[in-house]
Structure 1
């Protein structure tokens, strides 16, 4: 618990001056409110004694205190709410940046998927934001409690001591509620993650869902997730609200006992009506700080759980490590060498002692059945994750010794599953390298064989592509992706099944763009269609994570081994 509070406190440090103002206004509010409560004794005593001059003197003071209370409370709450917004935005940005730094192994194995991560960045952050707002209550209301308690001791210290024998009982109730919150809130957050994941899948997979008539199945899945979430929330609400009636009953009982006691004291002449009014006013006002502190205490339990969940990701070590004394990518490199490279995913061995040499300017094709390790080889080159053993060298430099951004700046990626940002065509191509002049976008689009269809669109290069590019056809998206890779102008090129999902007509158009893209570059090409890689300088054949053949198209056909079998299957 202390660890989470320290982490949250660290986020508040940039707002030190505002927090000082919050503290000062909190003190002013507490002092002024308590003073107004105490003044009721003097006002009623003056009223009972017909001291009108005293009443005329006290009323303006009371009004001034009321005005001071209102102003101080305004700044106290307003500043705390604004700081809560700022802190949450800061943590949300850190979380998003962390998502983008975490390696692919983390994203691929996260139980609730991207929907679960979205839940943390939205739902858990909302809990933290709401919790930070009550920090003002945690500071203000204990102060108000202390000053009101001072009133009570000032008026009748014996009665005050007798009244507060119930404080341990209230503390015990709060402690019990706290234990319950820590038990059920993590379960609630997990249930919310799975619910968010189901909703996201319903949106992402709407085409498949409608095609296979899975609407009811997905609806039932969300109902099941919702029922689990509601069941846990029901228990949480029970625990949260259980403390309220108990403490309110105790408070009511105390007020009635005070009323009975004071009535005897007034009748015996040992107290005045003003004493009773002043004591009851302060005592009743005590109910507010107790209740608000109780609510804040419960809310903080929720915040602590959410902070744990958020920072468990922010502090997650699953990032590709980068050495502080890293080196720039060599501009005059001659070759890439995979030396005894193995990679394990969970308990499964994906690559086994891969040895491969790629000379600068070569087109190297990777061939093999699904799961043979083709994509893993190229993913390791960009360090989306690191090899379990062995090393990848660019000349004599291990890629783990290179600056990560510089390494990736020198690699352009074109994949089968094209990702376009929900922005304009121009912005998606320019994303290849924002440091370049945006005017170069058109020339790259022409080389990618994309300019003609772009100019036919209503707004040309300013046309928006929709979510993930869904306003474009598959071939059009792929040509935008190729133009983006051209705009990046990286010496290394990775083509991961770049044409496998296209029809013949689209493939011809896209292949023209790819031919321009590959000119003068070192290319690693993954392709199921062997017809697209026959001109490769080197074809690498993989089987179950091992390289079984390397050679040209003609040489491998002549060997009549694994490649020959693939070729025969595609031409029968």
Structure 2
């Protein structure tokens, strides 16, 4: 019975059915040519033995023609199937990447093996599926070749064929036991591979910290431990994969020797010819290849099924931010953003508890509080990186859940402490704010972000590459490019998530100039640990354990001598 995973794979293949028809036709043609060529060996050998020149003159050209058909059909059969396999797996890779980008932050934060594990699925599992897809071509070729060679054997000597294939049930039992044992170890192998990929990725992403804290040995030992576990599992898999080979080959050798003895008696009695022996043995030896290919395909399907299950676990994962079928547009002349009885939890842990907050258009609202108090969650909910557990967020009475997700995010610009730049040019990173705008506006935005001068000092100006995650630039330079990107987006709502907290004083002054330009005329939500940067905010929201402890201006909150006063005093002692 076909597994659900294989049915899904066949669904992916449907769009290439015209090519698969050619693969099937060339596979059938190859099988017919191969089996007929094998049968002709009997006639060729008998003609050679009896010195029948006329028969040889007919058979040789026929054999040559069959060999040409065999070679040509095999070329197109394998070439087209390999290319189709590439197209299918590229489609799966693209679906996975698109899915990764749609899955909400809760999924990414909670995924056990992290981004390295997801990379493992998009690389290692897809590779296994690709290798397995090539076996699809064998479905059209080797079973038919097996049948054709079996017919050859029956045509040559049916009694000998029947006796020979009494051993077939033994081979079938061996294959069944191997497949059953493989199902246990393959999922373990995939899981360990995920953690190995994750460790390698961490070694690259965290190389600065690793070197600083002398953790090279620790990370090396971690990978060695995971590698040893992986090798142990692979050793078991290889043992089971290859166990059938020696058994079937020994049986095949024994059968050939028995055939040799039998035919020698038949020739001596005048009931057979040397051509019968050669033709029978040739087809018998050739039949070993389709048997091994079918055996390999059976084992490979077990691997592919498990990898498909892991791939479709992600593709069909429902941890996406839901979207309504008929979204309403983002309100044009909106006046107010309202958090109404908003709660949010990670599992059983409550992050926000029944939060109520109003943000008027044009206000600068600062969010302060201890780590884990819910500040980042407030802004993440506004962009719908995940949705509230309960309550709602409204823009002039319109629930953001009812606004198209792209439309909502188009109206919100984000500048974070941990700046992410694409491994591309400075120009492309700024332009990423809004590809619908002309790139001619980029220098003007860079000037407002206080970035133009340093950009022009780079080797190629705006065409200079920033390196992986922007590592060719300083922290302040990266931050100013991210501000220019946010300016280029020109969104009415701005989120500043501790945008200057990681910078030195000189860099902070430069970046702050850009931020001041960025905030002009916009509604801003500012998360800041340095209270000196938000004293001019229209409204300061003090968070404590997922709830609003205080709210007011800097002057009001200082006069109350509450939580904000305590934070302020700690930073100025």
Q: Quick one: distance in 2 between partners of 1:254 and 1:337?
A: 83
Residue in 2 aligned with 1:276?
277
2:239 paired residue number: 238
Measured in 1, the distance between the counterparts of 2:49 and 2:452 equals 92
Aligned partners of 1:278, 1:402: CA distance in 2, in Å?
Answer: 75
Once the 2 structures are TM-superposed, how far is the Cα of residue 77 of structure 1 from its aligned partner?
A: 0.5
Match of 2:302 in 1: 301
Unpaired runs of at least 5, structure 2: none
CA distance in 2, matches of 1:124, 1:139: 25
Are 2:63 and 1:59 equivalent residues in the alignment?
no
- Name the CA distance, whole Å, in 1 between partners of 2:554 and 2:384: 29
- Checking the alignment, whether the CA contact within 8 Å between 2:321 and 2:387 is kept in structure 1 is yes
Aligned length: 572
Normalized against structure 2, the TM-score is what?
Answer: 0.99
Q: How many Å separate the matches in 2 of 1:172 and 1:328? A: 63
Distance 1:385 1:499 in 2: 25
CA distance in 2, matches of 1:247, 1:346: 54
Match runs of 1:180-329 below 5 Å:
180-329=181-330
> Bigger shift: 558-567 or 417-426?
558-567
What pairs up with 1:169-568 in 2 under 5 angstroms? 169-568=170-569
In the TM superposition, what whole-angstrom CA distance separates every residue of 1:50-90 from its partner, at most 9, and x where no partner exists? 21111111101001101110000010011111111111111
Distance in 2, matches of 1:505 and 1:404, equals 38
Aligned to 2:113: 112
Take 1:423 and 1:48, find their aligned partners in 2: how far apart are those partners? 73
CA offsets 1:280-304 (integer angstroms, 9 cap, x no match): 1111110111112212221221111
Deviation at 1:314, TM superposition (A): 0.6
Deviation at 1:138, TM superposition (A): 3.0
Report the CA distance between 1:49 and its aligned residue.
2.6
SS at structure 1 position matched to 2:287: helix
Q: Structure 1 residues 410-419 or 37-46, which shifts more?
A: 37-46
Q: How far off its partner does 1:229 sit?
A: 0.7
Once the two structures are superposed, what CA deviation does each residue of 1:333-352 show, in whole Å capped at 9, x if it has no partner? 11111011000112211000
Asked if the contact 2:28/2:140 (under 8 Å) is kept, the reply is: no
For 2:196 and 2:43, how far apart are their aligned partners in 1? 59
Q: Distance in 2 between the 1:207 and 1:96 partners?
A: 28
Q: Does 1:3 align with 2:38?
A: no
Q: In 1, Cα distance between the equivalents of 2:483 and 2:291?
A: 64
**C-alpha deviation, 1:469, in angstroms:** 0.4
Q: Runs of 4+ in structure 1 displaced over 6 angstroms? A: none
SS of the aligned residue for 1:134 comes to helix
The CA distance in 2 between the partners of 1:317 and 1:256, in whole Å, is 60
**C-alpha distance in structure 2 between counterparts of 1:352 and 1:237, whole Å:** 54
- Structure 1 residue 129 displacement after superposition: 1.0
Per the TM alignment, residue 47 of structure 1 is displaced from its structure 2 partner at its CA by 2.4
User: SS of 2:157's equivalent?
Assistant: helix
Task: Check conservation: 2:104, 2:319, Cα contact below 8 A.
Answer: yes
| Counterpart in the other structure of 2:156 | 155
- Matches of 1:569 and 1:25, distance apart in 2: 79
Please say which of residues 324-333 and 481-490 is displaced more in the overlay: 324-333
Distance in 1 (alpha carbons) for counterparts of 2:525 and 2:200: 37
C-alpha displacement at 1:268, in angstroms?
1.7
Superposed displacement of residue 239, structure 1: 0.7
- Cα distance in 2 for residues equivalent to 1:64 and 1:488: 67
Alignment TM-score, normalising by the size of structure 1: 0.99
1:396 to partner: Cα distance: 1.2
Partner SS, residue 549 of structure 2: strand
| 1:90-110 Cα distance to aligned partner (Å, 9 max, x none) | 100110110000100111111
**Partners of 1:368 and 1:45 in 2: CA distance:** 95
Q: 3-state SS of the aligned residue for 2:542?
A: strand
